[in-house]
Amino acid sequence: MATVYLLLFYFITPLIILYICHISKTMKKIGAVVLAYILGLLLGNSGIFPQGSNVFHNLLAGQTYLPNEKALEYLEQGTITSSDMMLNQIHQTQDLVMTIVIPLSIPLLLFSLNIRNSLKSLKTGFLSLAIAIFSLLLSVAAGHLLFHNSIDESWKVSGMMVGLYTGGTPNLAALATALDVQPNIFILTHTYDLIAGILLLFFFITVAQRIFNKILPHFNGKGTHKRPIDVFKESQAPNNLIDLFKKSTILPLSAALGIAVAIFAIGGGLSLMVPKEFQMLTVILTITTLGIAIGMIPRINKIEKTFELGMYFILVFCVTVASMANLHTIFQIEFLNLFLYVLIAVFGSMIIHIVLSAIFKIDTDTTIITITALSTSPPFVPVVAGALKNKNIIIMGITIGVIGYAIGNYLGVFMAYFLKGI
């Protein structure tokens, strides 16, 4: 029953948020994405969820949850408690929601794009990617020099963070295995990353664009200084989701959703044919490619409100992922240096990136979406693109994120052993 209530919260809360944004100018200015993160954080840190024992968290060892059979076995043995079992079910539910909503949202978002405008910015995006990688390696190396005496095997943490901030959680888990990282250090690094990631996303979806526009060129599809007003007009989602319930909209949108489900199924099927470490990469590549291809069909591209429906699923994702952040961990004083190291990797690399973007005249939106794609992984690209009111950067962001998935492990191993040797 708790699982049912949790699912209802995740899927109904965004509808309530959108309705409030529709009737309140103040809430609309704050933004639906920001409100989704706030409510998710409140849920996850309100004490409603069980905390789980140290034994349970150690047994996870980088997994999101324990398989049901294994969890039941541990429960019967007395290794974990009934409270741990409930937390495991909550984690399963959260993982299920995140697994479903992102593969559904990406095709829906891509159906409505102007592909030509999106592809124009790829050249600038690749330069921004190179700058991002350089900025990350420099900040991680600086953090290692600061904390190598106070963090056990900090060279391994450095390798994990390079993989994490180029390819996301799959690369983090792979590098933790490759470098034989202690489970506790892995869990804490992942937790601190989640906290830093939420802070970064909050900054990007609120004031970052206004601040960066004072330093960097404005986006117009070519990286020069003027932003056409139609970019804003195209991206009024998600605050007008209320229009989805009009009779003239429901049937075409249902067809678009059916196509998105089919794309999801194809991506999921293909992912079963590759090794586990490449499954997420395969899903992202497949749904992105098919979403772009089908979106080029005029009849599909003209369906109204596909972007808004995709953004609804993104809001479900925002509420869910925010509810997974355990802010209590940040107050463990003995691991403060590790947390500071993560902050240096995230925000230090961002500052370096902005300085270099100013030198190379890379626009604000490209800079923000590049950092998002690498630091938080492709599923967050539509979230930030929606907050920036610029859906034409979605393809670029996802492309950069996919490249990050591909190179993250190589860069992580290289950086770890390079820092170990100096």
% residues pLDDT > 90 (the chain):
16
> Structure pTM?
0.67
In this structure, which amino acid lies at residue 231?
V
Torsion, CA 286, CA 290, CA 291, CA 296, rounded to 10: 150
Residue 22 class from Cβ within 10 Å (0-12 exposed, 13-18 middle, 19+ buried)? middle
Residue 376 has pLDDT above 70, yes or no: yes
Q: With contact defined as beta carbons under 8 Å apart, do 88 and 65 qualify?
A: yes
Provide the pLDDT confidence category of residue 177 given band limits of 50, 70 and 90: low
Classify residue 4 as left (phi > 0), alpha (psi -120 to 50) or beta. alpha
Find the mean pLDDT for residues 192-219.
86
Identify the weakest region by mean pLDDT among 212-221, 276-285, 328-337, 383-392: 328-337
Q: Is residue 233 predicted with pLDDT exceeding 70?
A: no
The mean pLDDT value for 318-343 works out to 75
Question: What integer pLDDT is reported at residue 367 of this predicted model?
Answer: 92
Give me the number of domains the chain comprises.
Answer: 1
- Of residues 420 and 240, which shows the higher confidence score? 420
What pLDDT shows up at residue 328?
A: 67
Extract the tokens encoding 390. Answer: 């610029």
- Picking from 241-245, 279-283, 360-364, which range would have the lowest pLDDT averaged per residue? 241-245
Residue 91 clears pLDDT 50, i.e. is over it: yes
Is the distance from CB of 103 to CB of 312 less than 8 angstroms?
no
Which CATH number covers residue 276? 1.20.1530
Q: Which two tokens stand for residue 261?
A: 């489900």
Residue 356 to residues 127, 165, 232, 381, Cα–Cα distance (Å): 10, 18, 27, 21
Please state, rounded to an integer, the average pLDDT across all residues of the chain: 80
* pLDDT score recorded for residue 232: 33
Selected residue with higher pLDDT from 222 and 29: 29
The two three-digit tokens of residue 207, written as one number: 């004031």
Tokens 């590049």 sit at which residue?
370
pLDDT at residue 121, as a whole number: 58
Model confidence at 119, pLDDT cuts 50, 70, 90, reads low
Instruction: Please give the C-alpha separations between residue 410 and each of 230, 244, 296, in angstroms, as whole numbers.
Output: 41, 44, 35
Provide the sign of the torsion angle of the four alpha carbons 219, 225, 228, 232, taken in this order. Answer: positive
Rounded to an integer, what distance in angstroms lies between the CA atom of residue 311 and that of residue 247? 20
* Type of residue at 135: S
Orientation of helix 82-111 relative to helix 394-421, angle to 10°: 130
Share of the chain above pLDDT 70, in %: 82
Residues 363, 81: Cα–Cα separation, whole Å: 52
Q: Is the pLDDT of residue 32 over 90?
A: no
Write out the residue range of the structural domain in which residue 26 sits.
2-421
pLDDT band at 262 (very low <50, low <70, confident <90, very high): very high
> Above 60 in pLDDT, residue 75?
yes
Please say if the pLDDT value at position 265 is more than 60. yes
